[in-house]
Chains A and B, each alone.
Chain A
Amino acid sequence: DSGVTQTPKHLITATGQRVTLRCSPRSGDLSVYWYQQSLDQGLQFLIHYYNGEERAKGNILERFSAQQFPDLHSELNLSSLELGDSALYFCASSPLPGELFFGEGSRLTVL
């Protein structure tokens, strides 16, 4: 158990819909990262937050947005969903640069 909690674990929805993925970081970790992993693919960096502020963006689609709240939990919002958005979405928190602790992921299936 990494200490990072992600909900929901599984989500099935239709094209055009909107979903929100939630992440609770490990106690004390200020950094939260979001990654997308499509089937048998690598980890694509989406966005990094530190103590409520956006630190860096990767190739995150405009249909996707995220935020980190004062209690440090983070949410990733995915809208106007397309079939290609089906993937495993990981959240990771970090006490130090580079040492990431991953949640179990949220598996999104868009039908």
Chain B
Amino acid sequence: QQPVQSPQAVILREGEDAVINCSSSKALYSVHWYRQKHGEAPVFLMILLKGGEQKGHEKISASFNEKKQQSSLYLTASQLSYSGTYFCGTEPVSGTYKYIFGTGTRLKVLA
């Protein structure tokens, strides 16, 4: 079953912050975040392996709560270049070698 992301879509002004959530019904070994710009391939942003671990990438960071099987992506002081669709990618503990992406969150940053 596909991890559920929320919100489905969000519109921001430049400089505003946003949080994107990813929730899985399965126990996860790791969570990864990707960004896909319109008409392009998804691009890997970051990986989170341990529960509660936060990682950062420019002004984008993320956390992973393995007990709740949830991850959140934090975008601070958003820039126009942040626009796109964000997907969480998940690897289940059961080791099925399936790599399942979440439902996606469309983010649009306006000037």
Interface residues, chain A, CB within 8 Å of chain B? Answer: 2, 33, 35, 42-43, 45, 48, 50, 55-56, 58, 90, 97-105
Q: Which 3 A-B pairs have the closest CB atoms?
A: A102-B41, A56-B97, A55-B97
Residues 60-91 of chain B: 1 if any A CB is under 8 Å from the residue's CB, otherwise 0?
00000000000000000000000000010101
Q: Is the CB of B30 within 8 A of A97?
A: yes
**Alpha-carbon distance A48/B100, docked complex (angstroms):** 11
B2 — which chain A residues lie within 8 A by C-beta?
A: 42
In the assembled complex, B47 has its CB within 8 A of some CB on chain A: yes
Total interface residues in chain B, CB < 8 Å: 23
In the assembled complex, B108 has its CB within 8 A of some CB on chain A: no
Q: Is the CB of B32 within 8 A of A98?
A: yes
The one of B41, B43, B99 in contact with A98, judged by C-beta atoms closer than 8 angstroms, is B99
B27 nearest CB across to chain A (Å)? 15
User: Besides the contacts A35-B101, A50-B97, A97-B30, what 9 more A-B pairs have beta carbons closer than 8 Å?
Assistant: A2-B43, A45-B100, A48-B97, A48-B98, A90-B41, A97-B91, A97-B99, A100-B34, A100-B42
**Alpha-carbon distance A55/B40, docked complex (angstroms):** 27
A45 — which chain B residues lie within 8 A by C-beta?
A: 98-101
Interface of A is mostly: strand
A103 — which chain B residues lie within 8 A by C-beta?
A: 41
Interface residues, chain B, CB within 8 Å of chain A? Answer: 2, 29-30, 32, 34, 40-44, 47, 87, 89, 91, 96-104
**Alpha-carbon distance A48/B91, docked complex (angstroms):** 13
25 A-B pairs within 8 Å (CB atoms) are namely A33-B99, A42-B102, A42-B103, A43-B87, A43-B101, A43-B104, A48-B97, A50-B97, A58-B98, A58-B100, A97-B29, A97-B30, A97-B91, A97-B99, A98-B32, A98-B89, A98-B99, A99-B47, A100-B99, A101-B44, A102-B41, A102-B42, A104-B40, A104-B41, A105-B41
- A98 with B101, Cβ < 8 A, contacts A42-B87, A43-B42, A56-B96 known: no
